[in-house]
A and B are shown apart, each in its own frame.
Chain A
Amino acid sequence: MNNMMWIVRRLLRTTFRKKSSWIVYFGLPVAAILLSMLIYGSASGGSLHVGVLNQDGGKTLTQDTIHFVEGLNNVKITMTDEASMNKDIASGKLDSGLIFEQGFADSVRDGEPARLRLVSAKGAEVTAYVKALLNGYLGNVAAIGQATKSDAEAFDAIYADYKQSSFKLESESLKDTAKYKDMTYQSIGFLLMFLLFSAVNMSELILKEREDRTFLRLLSSPLSARGFVLANVLVAFIIQVLQIVVTLLILKYAIGIDSGVPLRDLLGTLLLFSPVAISLGLLITAFSKNRRGASALQTLIITPTCLLAGCFFPAEIMPDTVQKISSFLPQHWLLDTITKLQDGQAIGSLGLNLAILIAFAAVFTLVAIYRFSRNNDVRQFI
């Protein structure tokens, strides 16, 4: 035990003496958070930009409807012409376009609102809000039209009264938590990849000892082979804990992203992934003759599995077959756990997910031990 801690001390000291280690272990996960912010921060801005094309002239009803839209919370309107509107919608400058065709005001007055079109390249996500409120507003005006039939004077009188009548309306903008949840998901996706890479990097230290022949001296000392491997595992775990804690603290306190999951649950879940990452690192080490081989295996395994499991973008956008394949990957189960926690499920109800993660770690470790024990060569360890 003393010898094991002696090795742990040396490994930690030499690891953190190198500036590159700080960048790899902490800089990259933080950079990943910033990248997520960039992706999701720009995806949903605070205001909806609506281009208005008025082909109905200066009629009161049309002008009033335009003012109504302009007065909506989080909506900015721009008067435009047809060509510019299409161009701006296509380029993303406008979220949607509201077209008042000729005869719009008359149709409302007749009690059957028509000749109004709401167009967008982004679908219901951006049109639903304006559409719902417009329906309410125009519905009321159209009801006046229906009630007064073709009596223009009566319509104008009731409409003027309707405009002047005041009623109390309080509106409140809710915080867009979906955006933060997406950011958390994405940041954790990247963090998983970095945890896997750092675990393999730490396991590669075992191979480095082998290549540098220092392991001969280590194993001829009272240190056991098992103690040597355990010391490396312990160091990898310590570094992973630090990586996870630093990333979560930055996410929550420095950047202020609310993950939607209690910090304790998020930390616990991620710490459960750490043994998976470390055992995968050991497995790669057990099957590699040297560091070059391990690096090749690392690239071959980690990046594609992270891609399939949804670490880089949400798994839902992938085809069904790919989603089914991802069920065989530990990253999928971790991300699934996080998503379910964000959806409000208690960590206690996610026993199956957590058991699957433990099973992955156990299988990887057993295969690595079996592989190590088959070696009858002084260049190997156990």
Chain B
Amino acid sequence: MNVLEIRNLTKKFGDFIAVDNMNLSVREGEIFGFLGANGAGKSTTINMISSLLRISKGEIQLLGRDIVKENKFAKMNIGIVPQDLAIYEEMSAYENVSFFAGLYGLRGSLLKERTEEALEFVGLGDKHKALPKSFSGGMKRRLNIACAIAHRPKLIIMDEPTVGIDPQSRNYILNSVKKLNQMGCSVIYTSHYMEEVEEICTRIAIVDHGKIIAEGTKEQLKSIITDTKETWIGVRNPERLDLDALKRISGVNSVRLEEQTVKIVSRGEINNLNWVIQQLIGDQVEISSVEEQAPNLETVFLTLTGRNLRD
């Protein structure tokens, strides 16, 4: 069964079409990765799912019920973890979770129980009396999650939940997402960190210019680009590189420089490594390493959108 079903969804801001006739489904019990560069239409879609924006055209169904017609039902069953922290600094961790859970109708002992449960879940049980201003970035992110789960939603939307935090907190959050999923929650997960998406998502959709341009499991997405390969060449003096000359080499789809590594995506059937190296030597570039990369989501994204996820 699909938890979420999006049909022909469109959102216009004046003449600008932010989401263009989008179709998408999220199945019950899956962690669904939603990838797109900045301005691709992800946040607009998420805002429409969470009823923060009006739909221009199309429909969204949650558990088979229209979210516009049955808005309260939809809101009761969705939990939002916004990218920006949405907590009250002047209220304790307990008060924050309890207040937001109260908006879903929880009261009395049930409210207390669910609040404590959510705080325990994100590892802040012993910090329940503390004010968020005394928390680290990671702890605030965890509190941000606790505020979204205390009412036990069926679908949790997490928008960049690990931005700007230390690796330990990041791992904690990723494990929490997996645990929530095991407890029966479906999750929509957006992130700029491709490795996170690869690690936890069961299915992924790539959105670009307001449209879904690819959708499937990691393996299905990678299979889309078996006709391309990526070569990483380490260089010691990147200032001597002539990227335009490299792009003109036969079979090269794209070239980008990341610190001291040139990343070249080429057509799979063409062996152009000799010409690439010849060009580099001609430009007096010192080569430190050459690696042929297996296809990954980063490559898939780059190939399909022509942009890096962090663009």
Contact = CB atoms under 8 A, between A and B. Distances in A.
Interface string B144-158: 000110000000000
Given A222-B105, A378-B47, A10 B99 contact: yes
Interface string B89-103: 111000000011011
Nearest to B54: A376
A322 B187 CA distance: 63
Contacts of B85: 213
Interface in A160-185: none
Given A220-B51, A220-B52, A378-B52, A214 B103 contact: no
B13 A220 contact: no
A321 interface: no
Given A10-B91, A10-B99, A213-B85, 12 more contacts: A6-B102, A17-B90, A18-B90, A212-B89, A216-B52, A216-B84, A221-B100, A221-B103, A222-B75, A222-B76, A222-B105, A376-B13
Contacts of A6: 99, 102-103
Contacts of A216: 52, 80, 82, 84, 86
A265 B253 CA distance: 82
A234 interface: no
B88 interface: yes
A220 B62 CA distance: 14
Q: Which 10 residue pairs of A and B lie closest in terms of their CB atoms, listed nearest first? A: A221-B103, A217-B86, A213-B84, A220-B50, A220-B80, A222-B75, A378-B52, A214-B86, A213-B86, A216-B82
A341 to B, nearest CB: 41
B104 A378 contact: no
B86 A221 contact: no
Contacts of A14: 88, 90-91
A60 interface: no
Contacts of A223: 103
B204 interface: no
B82 A217 contact: yes
Nearest to B13: A376
Most buried by B among A213, A220, A376: A220
27 contacts: A6-B102, A6-B103, A14-B88, A17-B90, A212-B89, A213-B82, A214-B88, A216-B86, A217-B80, A217-B82, A217-B86, A217-B100, A217-B147, A218-B103, A219-B51, A219-B52, A220-B50, A220-B51, A220-B75, A220-B78, A220-B80, A221-B75, A221-B103, A222-B103, A222-B104, A222-B105, A223-B103
A219 B74 CA distance: 12
A44 interface: no
Interface string A206-242: 0000001110111111110000000000000000000
A213 to B, nearest CB: 4
Nearest to A17: B90
A18 B90 CA distance: 10
Contacts of A214: 86-88
A84 interface: no
A96 B168 CA distance: 85
B72 interface: yes
A91 interface: no
B53 interface: yes
A217 B148 contact: yes
B90 to A, nearest CB: 6
Contacts of A213: 82, 84-86
A3 interface: yes
A349 interface: no
B195 to A, nearest CB: 27
A120 to B, nearest CB: 59
A213 B52 CA distance: 12
A219 B54 CA distance: 13
Nearest to B44: A378
Nearest to B89: A212
Contacts of B53: 378
A52 B87 CA distance: 75
A46 to B, nearest CB: 51
B103 A212 contact: no
Nearest to A10: B99
Contacts of B50: 220
A2 B105 contact: yes
A14 B75 CA distance: 26
Contacts of B72: 222
Contacts of A221: 75, 100, 103-104
Most buried by A among B13, B102, B103: B103
A23 B151 CA distance: 37
A215 B54 CA distance: 16
B114 to A, nearest CB: 14
Interface string B23-66: 00000000000000000000000010011111000000000000
Contacts of A222: 72, 75-76, 103-105
Interface in A1-36: 2-3, 6, 10, 14, 17-18
Contacts of B86: 212-214, 216-217
Nearest to B56: A376
Nearest to A214: B86
Interface string A241-282: 000000000000000000000000000000000000000000
A200 B105 CA distance: 30
